[in-house]
A and B are shown apart, each in its own frame.
Chain A
Amino acid sequence: DGGITQSPKYLFRKEGQNVTLSCEQNLNHDAMYWYRQDPGQGLRLIYYSQIVNDFQKGDIAEGYSVSREKKESFPLTVTSAQKNPTAFYLCASSIGTPQGDEQFFGPGTRLTVL
C-alpha cells in the first residue's frame, strides 16, 4: 500500500528539549511539506522540499529545522527555540506540478509541551 506515515502519533516534550517528528512516504513523490495546525485554524506551512537535498522555509519556520537526505523521508525537528510548539503537525507529499496538485497527508503527530 502506498501512503505517508508519521510517527509518533502523540509526543510529549519538556521545555528546553528538541524533538524530531518522522515522516516517510512511498508514493515516489518529489515534493514534501510540513504543516502546523492549531485548534480552529487552517494549515500553516513550516517547511517544504521540492527535491532531495533541498528545502525552503515556509511561513512559520522559526524554531524548526528539517532535512531531506532521501526522497522518501522528511523529518522535522522542533527545537527549544520554538516557544509555543503545542500543536497538531501534518506531513504531506505531492507529485509537484507547476500549477499545483493534490497533497496526500499523513495521519499527523500531536505534540504537547509539558
Chain B
Amino acid sequence: QKEVEQNSGPLSVPEGAIASLNCTYSDRGSQSFFWYRQYSGKSPELIMFIYSNGDKEDGRFTAQLNKASQYVSLLIRDSQPSDSATYLCAVPTSGGSYIPTFGRGTSLIVHP
C-alpha cells in the first residue's frame, strides 16, 4: 500500500507570514507530485506540480522536492486569509498506472 502522509493541522499563521506545508511519501518510484487546494465544501483544484528535485516557484507558491528523503513541501509566501483551506498532497504510483494516492490534507488558517 503506497502511503502519503501529511500533518492534519490546523496550521495557523498570521497574515503576511510564510506557511510551510509538508508531505512524505513511501513509493520511491514516484515521478510526479501535486498540490491541490480545497476550500470547505468545494472540490480540490490544482495549485502546483513538480517533477524534478529542487524548487519550483509560481507566484507566491513554491514547491520543494527531495526524492532522496521522499518529501515534498509547499511554501506560501505573504499568506492571505483567502489562502485558508485544506491542502492535499497527491503522489501518483509508479509502475505505469499513474493512479494518485492522496494525503489526508493539512488545514491552513491565515488570521488577520
Chain A residues in the interface with B (C-beta under 8 A): 31, 33, 35, 40-45, 48, 58, 90, 94, 96-103, 105-108
CB distance B46 to A103 under 8 Å?
Answer: yes
A78 CA to B57 CA in the complex, in Å? 41
Chain B residues in the interface with A (C-beta under 8 A): 4, 6, 8, 30-32, 34, 42-46, 49, 51, 88, 90-92, 96, 98-100, 102-105
CB distance A97 to B98 under 8 Å?
Answer: yes
**Set A42, A99, A107: member contacting B92, Cβ < 8 A:** A99
CB distance A99 to B43 under 8 Å?
Answer: no
Given contacts A40-B8, A43-B88, A96-B98, contact A102 B46 (CB under 8 A): yes
**Set A40, A44, A45, A99: member contacting B98, Cβ < 8 A:** A99
A14 CA to B34 CA in the complex, in Å? 37
CB distance A100 to B100 under 8 Å?
Answer: yes
Q: Smallest distance from the beta carbon of B43 to chain A beta carbons, Å?
A: 4
Considering the complex, give the chain A residue whose CB is closest to the CB of B90. A103
CB distance A41 to B96 under 8 Å?
Answer: no
A108 CA to B22 CA in the complex, in Å? 26
Specify which chain B residues have a CB less than 8 angstroms from the CB of A33 in the assembled complex.
Answer: 99
CB distance B44 to A43 under 8 Å?
Answer: yes
A94 CA to B42 CA in the complex, in Å? 19
Specify which chain B residues have a CB less than 8 angstroms from the CB of A107 in the assembled complex.
Answer: 42-43
Q: List 9 A-B pairs, minimum CB-CB distance, nearest first.
A: A100-B92, A105-B43, A42-B104, A99-B31, A43-B102, A100-B98, A100-B32, A42-B102, A102-B46
Specify which chain A residues have a CB less than 8 angstroms from the CB of B98 in the assembled complex.
Answer: 31, 94, 96-101
Contacts A40-B104, A94-B98 known; 17 new A-B pairs at CB < 8 A = A42-B4, A42-B102, A42-B104, A45-B99, A96-B98, A99-B31, A99-B98, A100-B92, A101-B92, A101-B98, A102-B46, A102-B49, A103-B46, A103-B100, A105-B45, A107-B43, A108-B42
